[in-house]
Structure 1
Amino acid sequence: MTINIEYEAEKKLDIPYKEIINHVVEESMDYENCPYEAEVNVLITDNEDIRQINKEYRKIDSPTDVLSFPMVDYETPSDFDRLEEMANDYFNPETGELLLGDIVISVDKVEEQAEKYGHSQTREMAFLVAHSMLHLFGYDHMEEEERLLMEKKQEEILSRRGYVR
């Protein structure tokens, strides 16, 4: 598995963010029974940069906590059955790893939301990674039923690694 982490924010979080990201990505892969080794890219930035990315890709001119850019088009979430038929589209030809996608996280939002929700920055970082990983597996939360399913899965992934409130 390849987890590329780039930390571009000037503000430094006083948490073991690499360890948290690695644990949650690995747990998400196990939880969703992904049969492949995978590649995930994580960019840690600030509110201004994530606002620019949000504006460019989603046409929303405001900062957000996390953005997900899935590389796989699933028929249904975490349906890995047909991916090998399209290996050229979804797998890194050099490593053979499934290219899951990119995650962008705002350090400012990690701090703000940890305080707002009354939990640690560690838990907030883990939550944002779990949330984003589910998006990379094709889940969404536009409908109430989808939202409830994602919330359940997020909490189960986090509790399996001990990232509880």
Structure 2
Amino acid sequence: MTLNIEEEVPIPDGLDYKKIIHDVVCGALEFEDCPYEVEVNVILTSNEEIALINRDYRDLNQPTDVLSFPMIDYVAPGDFSVLEEYNEEDYFNPESGELMLGDIIISMDKVYEQAEKYGHSIQRELGFLVAHSMLHLFGYDHMEPEETQVMEEKQRDILKLVHLSR
């Protein structure tokens, strides 16, 4: 697995964010039974920067906690069999052979705000946002109540798997 993490903002000493992100990405891959080695890109940024991206891609001129940019056009969420129908160069890095799942952009400002708001640790909030975003990279969404329920259950299970549950 290739996990590229870019820090655009200072990260507090003592926050082992690389381990948290790595563990949750691995946990999500295991939970969804992904049959491929993967590449995932994660950017840790500020409210100001994520607001600009949110404006440009979603026409919402406000910060959000996490944005996900999946690379795969799934027929059904978590169904990797669709990849067998496409050319390898469409979804796989030609240099590494890894499946390019996509990009995750997280506002660290929101991580701190939401950890305090919801009464849990910064580690748990960061892990939650990574788990949430990984599910988007697997094709899940939460536009309908049934989809929301599926995502919430999977998020809980992934966080439990990596020992970040409430």
Please, what TM-score do these two structures have when normalized by structure 2? Answer: 0.97
Q: 1:161 to 1:11 in 2, by over 3 A?
A: closer
Task: Give the percent of matched residue pairs that are identical in Structure 1 and Structure 2.
Answer: 61
Where does the alignment leave 5 or more consecutive residues of structure 2 unmatched? Answer: none
> Per-residue displacement from partner, 1:93-137 (whole Å, max 9, x unpaired)?
111100000000001000000000000000000000000000000
Secondary structure of 1:44 counterpart: strand
Q: Paired residue for 2:155?
A: 154
Contact 1:68 1:102 in 2 (8 A): yes
Shift of 1:56: 0.5
Q: Give the TM-score, by structure 1 length.
A: 0.97
Q: Which runs of 5+ in 1 are unaligned?
A: none
**Per the alignment, do residues 111 and 14 of structure 1 end up closer, same or farther by CA in structure 2, a change over 3 Å counting?**
farther
- Aligned-partner Cα distance in 2 for 1:49–1:152: 30
SS at match of 2:80: coil
Distance 1:78 1:71, change over 3 A: same
Structure 1 residue 14 displacement after superposition: 4.2
Q: Secondary structure at the match of 1:154?
A: helix
How many angstroms does 1:9 deviate by? 1.2
Query: How big is the shift at 1:11?
Result: 5.5
| Superposed counterparts of 1:10-89, under 5 Å | 10=10, 12=12, 14-86=14-86, 87-89=88-90
Question: Using the alignment, how far apart are the partners of 2:13 and 2:106 within structure 1?
Answer: 12
Q: CA RMSD in A?
A: 1.0
